[in-house]
Amino acid sequence: DSGVTQTPKHLITATGQRVTLRCSPRSGDLSVYWYQQSLDQGLQFLIQYYNGEERAKGNILERFSAQQFPDLHSELNLSSLELGDSALYFCASSVASGTGSNSPLHFGNGTRLTVT
Amino acid sequence: GNSVTQMEGPVTLSEEAFLTINCTYTATGYPSLFWYVQYPGEGLQLLLKATKADDKGSNKGFEATYRKETTSFHLEKGSVQVSDSAVYFCALSAQGGSEKLVFGKGMKLTVNP
């Protein structure tokens, strides 16, 4: 058990809808990362938050947004959903205090999103 | 930009066979290199890492050596077990840490008894 909790485990929704994925990091971890895993694109980094502030941005679409709350949990919001957004979304956390930290990432078990 | 290229498989081996999964990278500076493993139905777990040239990471019988001259970080295990069946990801971090990891596409390994 990595200590990272993601909810829900599965989500099925229709095109055009909006969903929210939730992540609780491991106790003591200040950084939260979001990744998208799809068959054709592999594992893509979306965004990182550290202690409530955005730290790094990857291939995140404008329809997607995220935030990290004072209690350090994070939410990833996906709107105007398209069929191509169907994927496994992973959250990871680390104690990383900043750039260059060697603290490992601890991954949750993911949320499987299916857009129909 | 930074990138990782690895064998994609899938690969099927018999128990006790030798395993090599090739991984090469492109990055500026001195990245840190990682191997992550994803067991069925689970998230990724760090398997091993190396943070500078000629470092060898090892864990659970797996090894990988950071080769700067060939920009490679191949994963090896001398004798695989059924329990090693999983997807293996090579990754790098250009900042030298765990931030903004760039992953390879992953390789699915199945080990048969």
Q: What is the pLDDT of residue A75?
A: 98
Q: Closest approach of chain A CAs to the CA of B2, in angstroms?
A: 12
What are the C-alpha distances in Å from B64 to residues A83, B4, B74, B76, B98?
38, 15, 5, 6, 18
User: How many alpha carbons fall within 13 Å on the CB side of residue A14?
Assistant: 0
Q: What is the pLDDT of residue A58?
A: 87
Q: Which residues of chain B have pLDDT under 70?
A: 95-99
- In order along its 116 residues, chain A shows pLDDT tens digits of 789 999 999 999 999 999 999 999 999 999 999 999 987 778 898 999 999 999 888 889 999 999 999 999 999 999 999 999 999 999 999 887 655 556 778 899 999 999 99
B104 contacts chain A (CB < 8 A) = yes
Q: What is the pLDDT of residue B96?
A: 55
Which residues make beta-bridge pairs with B50?
B33
Using left for φ > 0, alpha for ψ between -120 and 50, and beta otherwise, residue B9 falls in left
Q: Say if residues B15 and B109 touch (Cβ distance below 8 Å).
A: no
Q: Distance between CA B79 and CA B84 in Å, rounded?
A: 10
Q: What is the pLDDT of residue A42?
A: 82
Q: Closest approach of chain B CAs to the CA of A109, in angstroms?
A: 4
